Amino acid sequence: MNISQNCIDLIKKWESFIEKAAFCPAGVLSIGYGTTFYPDGSKISAGDTTTKEEAEGFLLLSAQKFAETVAKAVTIDLTQNQFDAVTSFVYNIGEGAFLKSTLLKELNLNKIEVAANEFLRWDKITKSNGEKVSLKGLTDRRNEEKALFLNNISQATQILLREIPTQESVTWMEGFSENGKNVVVAYGGSKVVEIAVLESSGKKDLIDLLNQYTGGNYHTAPNDKKIPDGERVLIKRREILAVKSTPAITKAASLNIEANSPTPKSYLRLVKTKEKDQHGCYVLRLNYYENNILVDFINVCSGSPRSQFFRKGVNSKAGSMEPIPEGIWRVEDIKWAKGRDDWSGSYGSGIGAASVPLTYISPGKTARSAIEGHEDFNRRTYPGTAGCIGFYTRDNFKKFITEWLRKTNPRELICDWGLGSV
């Protein structure tokens, strides 16, 4: 069972949106809609910022994780309204408190009315002196959760369950050495989930990779054991990916790629590689064409490290935190937080000093919005984006603006994941 939109709306109503990390009345540092941990498990830090689009993604991912907790812990059948109310409750008090709560105990005894009254016991915060006091906002929230829990009349439709990312499906890992490089085979039981090859042999890089996987132990394979067959993913550090590089490609080869575009034009094309950065985002290649000839590219990322699912525009859902969906996009005018070429400004989020909005054109329509191109400004605290195109460094983003956009004013971005819609 999973939550409905009613649960999301209830949480958003009572959490409210906070752009910059702040302490809630209970003294916990949070951001967005009550998010206290990023999807990768790292804590929110003072000074962290977010956008509404990103915050909604955090909310959806967290709510669905808490929904999984409720589904496992509750042993009786719940109505949709009951499930939504309990998930909103757990989102607020936390998994540990819920699993120890009398509400859960009474619920599993099928004492619905008794369990409903338990909501109201959780309207207090603990002051610095240890005194517990009721908070009106919490009291009102508990009353609304209780009302939804007891509402047997209207039942909403479930939101589709999120796909389990590669990192969360791993149960154990095995390390190999091949030609001086570390190779990590991640398993889900006996099945190979991912074969990662680290470009660097550094210990920190290995630790960063292992930290991406949420479960299981790491073992060093025997010297005589063969690495399993399968597609490999090359892991590169962002510092390497950010180095400027111009592809050596012939005019004939470029025109062959764009054989169906006889009219000379300048445009952008975004494609996926078989590489990942050290945080788990696929390396995407933003190609720049002048008169249908590929003249340059920049490595970029898109989406949350735990939401690296690539979809067509019509299949991509709002708040998914997934990469920009496949389709044709219009490149809009550059926006500046302060003024043209003033890099000291900031939008107060992960966007940075400037942004290039992108508008979905075709095929069909997409539920995704607020997609932009910008520097991955908060990459040190939360790498990746909510679906925007993230540039690894400011230098790369400056190059994008000054050497591409201002030179030929390309207005078309073809986002091509190989799914057949463009």
Residues acting as catalytic residues: 15, 24
Per DSSP, the residues of 21-46 read EEE-TTS-EEEETTB-B-TTSPBP-T
Pair 187, 170: CB distance under 8 Å:
yes
**What is the C-alpha separation between 75 and 336, in angstroms, rounded?**
53
Token reading at 24: 């809630």
Contacts of 226 (CB under 8 A, 6+ apart): none
Residue 171 dihedral angles phi and psi, to the nearest 5°: -110, -20
Torsion angle of C-alpha atoms 87, 93, 96, 102, degrees rounded to 10: -80
Q: Is 81 within 8 Å of 65 (Cβ atoms)?
A: no
**Could you count the other beta carbons within 10 Å of the beta carbon of residue 303?**
26
Who's near 223: CB < 8 A, 6+ residues apart?
A: none
Whole-angstrom distance, CA of residue 113 vs CA of residue 325:
45
β partners of residue 271: 285, 416
Q: Which residues contact 159 (CB under 8 A, 6 or more apart)?
A: 2, 3, 4, 5, 8, 60, 64
Rounded to 10 degrees, the C-alpha dihedral 43/239/167/92 comes to 20
Q: Angle at which helices 5-15 and 136-150 pack, to 10 degrees?
A: 170
20 strand-pairing partners: 49
State the residue for tokens 């209780």.
146
Which residues, 6+ apart, have CB-to-CB distance to 204 below 8 Å? none
